Amino acid sequence: MKRKVNRVGKNTLTVSLPSKWVKKYGLKSGKEVEVTEQGRNLIISSKTFIKKIKRVNLNIDGFNKHMLNRHLDEFYRQGVEEIVLKFTKETIPDYKYNKDIRIHRYVRKVIERFIGLEIISRATNKIVLQSLITKEEWEKTSVTQNRIYFLIKEFFDEFVLAMDDDFKKFHDKSYDYHDSIVKFSAYYLRLLNFSEWSENKKIRMFGLIVIIDKIIDKVRHTSERVEEMKKITPKIKKYVKEIFDLFIEQFEMINKKNYPVEDLNKLIRKRYDLVNRVNTEKFNEEELKVISECNIILDTINDFSEAHITLFEDYR
């Protein structure tokens, strides 16, 4: 985008701001912007947060469970203050389990995934949800990121320990672990949306958190496959632990600003060694089902490496 430099007075030069950018951040005459000099570049940034959407009216007639989930996820990330759900039928289809679910009961359950989102009124054909978050404290992104890390580490540690103990008891709680991680991931994406980070950082971290969310789904599926095994074999215990350990080490990379190059080299070598061993190992049918579910974790090294570069590296 090119802008013309204009002279105002004897010694002052000005450049107009793009109208779309001005409208997006609610800038008006007299407001201040941050101007940062970076070599030959001049960075202009607004400290004004993205405007929240006050109210959304959503008619969910014809929706299924998946569609409702996706809409609620997106509205929450955007910081919508009030969501009004309207419907004429009491149920919506859940195609995963091939059944109909009651809307009122399901909404009560699903909003547990969203920090600060509560039901404030209900009627036969309407549910009103409201965000109790009055200020988007985007500075808490790092705290929330650390919380996600520790929740995942606890989930993985308990998974590995349970393979030598009462796995059914653990498996029954696996949805609780999953839901706690999803809750903080959703909150992180909301904070990210309102942060003052560059668009490049936002896009990179948004993509990484979405991938982590998919990984946690796969770990829950891995738990299902392990639960189905007649006997959990030493081979599965060994490889599942190694795959989980690798993921945790990758996550630690984005939690450390000064991640040593030698540690990254070791991590990459460890990943390729593990991939080669998994690919050449002979698994029985039950073992293969387990490995097929969690194997995706081995393909996330690039996502974590690129996120670390975007967050911390400075090549100016």
Centre a 10 Å sphere on the Cβ of residue 305 and count the other Cβ atoms it contains. Answer: 17
Along the chain (316 residues), what's the average pLDDT of each consecutive run of 10 residues?
79 82 72 72 66 90 97 94 97 96 97 96 97 87 95 97 95 94 96 86 92 94 96 97 96 87 92 96 97 93 88 60
Residue 294 is predicted with a pLDDT of 92
SS3 content of the chain, % helix, strand, coil (to 5): 60, 15, 25
CATH of 55-131, one of 2.40.128, 1.10.1060, 3.30.110, 3.30.530: 3.30.110
Tokens at residue 250, please?
């990758």
- Tell me 163's DSSP state: T
Q: Please tell me the distance from the alpha carbon of residue 101 to that of residue 315, in angstroms, as a whole number.
A: 53
CA–CA distance, 259 with 271 (Å, rounded to integer)? 17
Query: For the chain, which residues make up each domain, given as ranges?
Result: 5-45, 55-131, 138-312
User: For residue 247, what are the CA distances in angstroms to 168, 221, 260, 312?
Assistant: 24, 16, 17, 20
DSSP-assigned letters across all residues of 94-107: ETTTTEEEEHHHHH
Query: 53 with 78: CB under 8 angstroms?
Result: yes
Angle ∠(59,63,66) on CA atoms, nearest 5: 125
Dihedral pair phi/psi, residue 231, rounded to 5°: -150, 130
SS3 1: coil
What the block records as the tokens of 43 is: 């960075």
C-beta separation of 77 from 189 below 8 A: yes
pLDDT the model gives residue 1: 74
Pairing mode, strands 126-131 and 82-86: antiparallel
Residue 195 has a pLDDT of 86
Instruction: Please tell me the predicted confidence (pLDDT) of residue 218.
Output: 95
CATH architecture of 138-312: Up-down Bundle (1.20)
Predicted local distance difference test score (pLDDT) of residue 315: 43
Q: Which of 262, 250, 235 is nearest to 301 (CA)?
A: 250
Sorted by sequence, the CB contacts under 8 Å of residue 103 that are 6+ apart come out as: 60, 85, 87, 89, 90, 91, 92, 127
Question: Which pLDDT belongs to residue 268?
Answer: 93
Q: 145 and 174 in contact (C-beta within 8 Å)?
A: no
User: What pLDDT score was predicted for residue 301?
Assistant: 87
